[in-house]
Structure 1
Amino acid sequence: MALASGLRPLQVFILLLSARILSVFLVQTWYVPDEYWQTLEVAHKHVFGYGELTWEWQKGIRSYLYPSVVSAIYYALKLTSLDYPTIVVLAPRIFQAILSAFADFSFYKWSGNRKWALFVILTSWFWFYTASRTLLQTTETALVAIALSMFPFKAGKPSYYEKGKEKSLLIVIKFVLPLLPMLMYLAQDVIVPWSRKAKKWQLYTLAGLLVVGNVAPAFYFGTVHQSGPLRVMPLLREEIKDNKTSVLFLMPCHSTPLYSYQKVK
């Protein structure tokens, strides 16, 4: 594994940041409604004064903490008159990509600057697919990685907590995505000792399998699968001239973004 040989911390971070920024522009597919309707649409209505909210927000049972971050981005764009549709779409995703890059770097430091840890996180197709999405779960995953770099566990044991008086660690995770940093850590923790004994051809074979096995789903799910909901947005933007226009979506509920991808007056 010569991937990280000689790389300084700043160079590693730039590499990770480049991968996450790249995903902003390459991943152009719909994943789940929450990516838009629990963040972008809420923030858009708050800052620009018009939009649509789902019933959870109308009933006031959701927290505004994460949408407030997006609201701050929108508000900055509004104040600087940079609230063009394309920038309104890209800015929150770029912010999320930067946060995910910090999480990736924290993961790399948590592993002890291991080359295989860097390789695993760079080749993970699902993290590439989700790392720049404006999902609360994406932010949770990033924060989990950052937290575990500060309060790590090693070899499956919460070593930080064993040093204190507390002998038990309670982990409550609602969704599966925030488990990803721990699973990738365990994966590289298995690969590293094996790699020290493996022959060169075995190392290159494993690296090749990881690349091929992850590039294919990253390409398919990032550019093909469920790409229609986002491809139609620029077309609607050209046709919709004001926010009084009605659009009928003959598809499952909240399967597309709306005002946050239109930015009409």
Structure 2
Amino acid sequence: MSAHVRLLFLALLAFRSLNALLCQTIFVPDEPWQSLEVAHRMVFRYGYLTWEWQKGIRGYTHPLLFAVLYKCLQLIGMDWPYLLIRLPRLLQAVCAAVADVCLYKVTCKMYSRSVGIFALLCSISNWFTFYCVVRTLTSSLETILGSIGIYLLYHKCYISGVGVAAFSCLIRPTAAIFWLPVIILHLYWLNSSERLKCVFKTIIVGCCALCWSLAVDRVFYGEWTFVQYRFLLFNVFEGQSAFYGTHSWHWYFSQGVPVVLFSLYPSFLLGGLKVANHKSLYFVSLWYIMIHSILQHKEFRFIFPVVPFACIYAGYHLHTVWTKYKHTVYKCVVVLILVSNIPMAAYFSLIHQRGSLTVMDELRLAIDDYPNPSVLFLTPCHSTPFYSHVHRNVSMRILTCTPFEKNNELEQFYKSPHQWLSTQYPSPVDLPSHLVMYNSLTPILEQFLIDNHYNMISEVFHTHIVDEDRVGHYLQIYANR
């Protein structure tokens, strides 16, 4: 590693670490519930697993990364809540810094060092990357692995590159949509003798990765479980992910990509069209988005893995504008495109949906005053983290929302809150010591709270943007004295 690349990595490591510390909000429930909660249960032997783990459509390879981290903290006696919460994001920050360097070096190899600088500037200034890359989501790790894998392939480290691709497909099987065309194109450019060797190596690496996944899941599920097949069957072939919402086929092109890339969107399109060579990643990115457009359930994070490659072509276009047009106005436009992402990055990382994390800090302190505390979360599905943020083996209950049950606990409760509470807790002595709820529910349960001597002990800001009746601007904690 040259001196300037080493310095660049250290600078990016500092930037991504700051990124991790400034990220004080929750994006989607999967962030804690499909990683940290699972890892916590793997190491500390208590916790709660969502229905996906009961159905066997999630693999343990991804949460195992955080479980190793938790186990190390446990062994040295430093499994403190603050570290259990922060260190996973700092681990993501280290990986993200490596991915940033890889993106820079790939762009330098494709075009030039100056274009590499612009591509890197696009990546670190993109609001969605700042918002997502340090989160413990499978999409975040898939994005990081994408940059690292492409770097390895471009630098002729084929086996390592395919290994990264295989690992990416283990943690999220839909990553194959990206990696299959990339590897096929790479093999196409080889001569016949090398191609045959690489095909054989690819098969070997793929089989080893699959054996690893089967072995890990056998250990933690207690039986042989082919999670990749179950994942694809549930989400793709059966289309049951539509339970979480559906969008029209053009949503990614009309809303998803414009929102995720924001001011970089025009530069991405123009850069990909005007560049003369190395356009394969541009077309693979479009292919990835088009295939995801076929699926009914769509989310912004699902197209996150192609954002780094969009930054390559956006960087190419901005570099062209910067060097070709000498007038100050054009340079100001380039700077404005890059800095316009900062307000969004700051708002969504520091403010929007921060209550989900803050309320767990408050709850952890509140239950310390009780010898045998119990907590009931009267919130929509998985609105907050759980045991990974409390780190205490106490009785905690959420409203379950298994998609296969039309009349699940969540729907029963919101249909008739008082009736549900009286049925579940027929005697006042059965009531939990603490309740966690949004302020929108307080007027409905006001009399229940008074009759059962619940006092609000904490109220934390959650969000300015409320997109459903069951969510409020604030999260509240009530204690039964």
Comparing 191-200 with 114-123, greater Cα deviation is found at 191-200
After superposition, residues 112-131 of structure 1 pair within 5 angstroms as 112=108, 113=113, 114-131=116-133
User: Shift of residue 244 of structure 1?
Assistant: 6.0
**What's the TM-score, normalizing by structure 1?**
0.88
Verify the 8 A CA contact 1:13 1:101 in the aligned structure 2: yes
1:163 is matched with 189
Change (3 A) 1:206 1:11: farther
Verify the 8 A CA contact 2:33 2:50 in the aligned structure 1: yes
Any unmatched runs of 5+ in structure 1? 1-6
Pair 1:192 & 2:319 matched: yes
Verify the 8 A CA contact 2:125 2:339 in the aligned structure 1: no
- Aligned AA (1:259): Y
Distance 1:76 1:33 in 2: 26
User: Shift of residue 147 of structure 1?
Assistant: 1.3
1:89 is matched with 85
Looking at secondary structure, tell me which structure has more strand per residue.
2
Any unmatched runs of 5+ in structure 2? 155-180, 196-279, 293-301, 394-481
The DSSP-based 3-state class of the residue aligned with 1:247 is: strand
User: Shift of residue 200 of structure 1?
Assistant: 5.6
After superposition, residues 69-148 of structure 1 pair within 5 angstroms as 69-112=65-108, 113=113, 114-148=116-150
Pair 1:40 & 2:168 matched: no
Which residue, out of 219, 224, 235, partners 2:351?
224
Pair 1:18 & 2:44 matched: no
User: Shift of residue 199 of structure 1?
Assistant: 1.5
1:4 is matched with none
The DSSP-based 3-state class of the residue aligned with 1:25 is: helix
Change (3 A) 1:181 1:194: same
Which residue, out of 27, 31, 45, partners 2:27?
31
Pair 1:246 & 2:402 matched: no
Task: Compare CA radii of gyration and give the structure with the larger one.
Answer: 2
CA deviations 1:202-226 (Å, max 9, x no partner) are: 4541343134311100111011111
The DSSP-based 3-state class of the residue aligned with 1:235 is: helix
Which residue, out of 385, 388, 409, partners 1:260?
388
Which residue, out of 305, 320, 334, partners 1:178?
305
User: Shift of residue 243 of structure 1?
Assistant: 10
The DSSP-based 3-state class of the residue aligned with 1:249 is: strand
Which residue, out of 361, 364, 368, partners 1:234?
361
Verify the 8 A CA contact 2:100 2:147 in the aligned structure 1: yes
Comparing 140-149 with 169-178, greater Cα deviation is found at 169-178
Change (3 A) 1:86 1:38: same
Q: How many residues align?
A: 255
- Aligned AA (1:120): C
The DSSP-based 3-state class of the residue aligned with 1:30 is: coil
User: Shift of residue 115 of structure 1?
Assistant: 1.7
Verify the 8 A CA contact 2:322 2:331 in the aligned structure 1: no
2:221 is matched with none
- Aligned AA (2:136): T
The DSSP-based 3-state class of the residue aligned with 1:176 is: helix
Change (3 A) 1:195 1:160: farther
2:152 is matched with 150
The DSSP-based 3-state class of the residue aligned with 1:252 is: coil
User: Shift of residue 194 of structure 1?
Assistant: 2.7
Distance 2:338 2:312 in 1: 18
Verify the 8 A CA contact 1:243 1:264 in the aligned structure 2: no
User: Shift of residue 233 of structure 1?
Assistant: 1.2
- Aligned AA (1:260): S
- Aligned AA (1:33): P
**More contact order relative to length (CA 8 Å, sep ≥ 6):** 1
Verify the 8 A CA contact 2:119 2:313 in the aligned structure 1: no
Distance 1:36 1:226 in 2: 14
CA deviations 1:59-108 (Å, max 9, x no partner) are: 22210000011100000000010101101111111111101110111001
User: Shift of residue 57 of structure 1?
Assistant: 0.9
User: Shift of residue 161 of structure 1?
Assistant: 4.6
- Aligned AA (1:199): K
Q: Over aligned residue pairs, what C-alpha RMSD do you find?
A: 2.6
Verify the 8 A CA contact 2:121 2:338 in the aligned structure 1: no
Moved over 6 A (4+): 168-171
Verify the 8 A CA contact 1:37 1:257 in the aligned structure 2: yes
The DSSP-based 3-state class of the residue aligned with 1:52 is: coil
Distance 1:132 1:178 in 2: 13
Comparing 13-22 with 242-251, greater Cα deviation is found at 242-251
Verify the 8 A CA contact 2:107 2:119 in the aligned structure 1: yes
Distance 2:305 2:82 in 1: 29
Verify the 8 A CA contact 2:20 2:93 in the aligned structure 1: yes
1:8 is matched with 4
**What's the TM-score, normalizing by structure 2?**
0.50
- Aligned AA (2:390): Q
Change (3 A) 1:200 1:87: farther
